[in-house]
Amino acid sequence: MSARTLPLLFLNLGGEMLYILDQRLRAQSIPGEKARKDEWTDVDRKRVMNDIIGTMFNRKFMEELFKPQELYSKKALRTVYERLAHASIMRLNQASMDKLYDLMTMAFKYQVLLCPRPRDILLVTFNHLDAIKDFIYESPGILNQVDETFRQLIETYNCLSDGEFQLIRQTLLVFFQDMHIRVSIFLKDKVQNSNGRFVLPISGPVPWGTEVPGLIRIFNHKGVEVKRTEFTTAGNYVTPQREGSFELYGDRVLKLGTNMYSVSRPVETHMAGSSKNLASHAKENTVPNPLAKEELNFLARLLGGLDIQKPAGGETGFRLNLFTSDEEEEHAAQTRPEDLSYKVINIEATQEPGRRAELSRILGELEVAEPRPGSAGKGEDLLALMDGL
């Protein structure tokens, strides 16, 4: 498994989360002069996007994320996104959060499967970051945070070999291999079967630097071509005109990772029959890895220590529904397989002295906000959830 996969997984899933939230916030927003106190406006939407993106691209969090490390479990990663989704005045209930995470993971899984070559996963990431920058173009401070992450990606990944990118792609596919959730957009476009598995095309552009299949060349021992044989292929392949840009600005050419929700379309998710086996996979961490738990707690502290906007005074958080109606959301919550819920289980943390001492040293350097009198620390809710991992 590649120890360089986590930043790409986190940023791409985060980009998909922002696409979905932006689409739903736009769909439910009311013009400011007509909106009641409990209804969304475009000002609220921009505030939510700024808060979440500012939290997601916090410098200290990004520094920790980019350190070589193994991937976290599915439940652990989902917990981090739940914390991010609530880093603003927006509130999601359990069913909507489940649906949000399902859409995020299946969209990025499809993009990884369709990448013409492993290195193009980086172009997919750049497409997500380009779109994120469009969300916060009016906030230069947050925009600078995203650009810093952009530069860190270029510095970390542009120098990697094709073999290292192949290992990253395999690590991502292993992470997604048991997830077969049906998504209405994919089903309607016939790129996903009723069992939740994707249909991969046999036509289209070949990877940059390769030739259209259909020709076999035979060389002698001196490296001189002595014979050519042509054959017919089942697909209709074309050669790409140019390679996508791996710089801070430029044409990515590849469209994977762009916002597929820019045109309003209803999106539904359904658990495929074969995916009901996830009940067993959800138990994969019944006996947690103590070292992994310490790392997750560290990430939780990083998130918990950020300056996250909270509803002020009598202001209440706005609820966002990812379903078409409240009744549909309530039904989804009732029918969700119990084993896919993320319950709170308190367990004792590892006592490994070396790791705990190192984490204590790092945590001591962070500026963690002090809790208000009578309230829990900002990170306590996420820490409690992570205790069950």
**pLDDT recorded at residue 43:** 86
Q: Counting beta carbons within 10 angstroms of the beta carbon of residue 141, is it exposed (0 to 12), middle (13 to 18) or buried (19 or more)?
A: exposed
**pLDDT recorded at residue 108:** 97
DSSP 276: G
Q: How distant is the alpha carbon of residue 109 from its chain centre?
A: 10
**pLDDT recorded at residue 389:** 35
CA distances from 300 to 59, 93, 295 (A): 15, 20, 9
Mind listing the pLDDT tens digit of every residue in the chain (389 residues)? 789 999 999 999 999 999 999 998 888 777 756 666 667 788 888 999 999 999 999 998 899 899 999 888 888 888 889 888 888 888 888 888 989 999 999 999 999 999 999 999 999 999 999 999 999 999 999 999 999 999 999 999 999 999 999 999 999 999 999 899 998 889 998 999 999 999 998 888 899 988 899 999 999 999 999 999 999 988 889 998 899 999 999 999 999 999 988 765 555 666 554 444 443 343 333 344 444 555 555 555 555 544 444 555 445 556 665 656 566 656 656 666 554 444 433 333 444 445 444 444 544 444 433 333 433 332 333 333 334 33
Q: Are 388 and 347 in contact (CB under 8 A)?
A: yes
One-letter amino acid identity for 256? L
Please give the model's pTM, rounded to 2 decimal places.
0.73
How far apart CA 105 and CA 107 sit, in angstroms, is: 6
CA distances from 145 to 19, 54, 66, 121, 315 (A): 19, 8, 14, 21, 28
**pLDDT recorded at residue 1:** 79
Grouping H, G, I as helix, E, B as strand and the rest as coil, residue 359 is helix
Residue 72, CA atoms < 13 Å, CB-side half-sphere: 27
- In the numeric block, the tokens 């300056």 are attached to 307
How far apart CA 13 and CA 46 sit, in angstroms, is: 20
**pLDDT recorded at residue 289:** 47
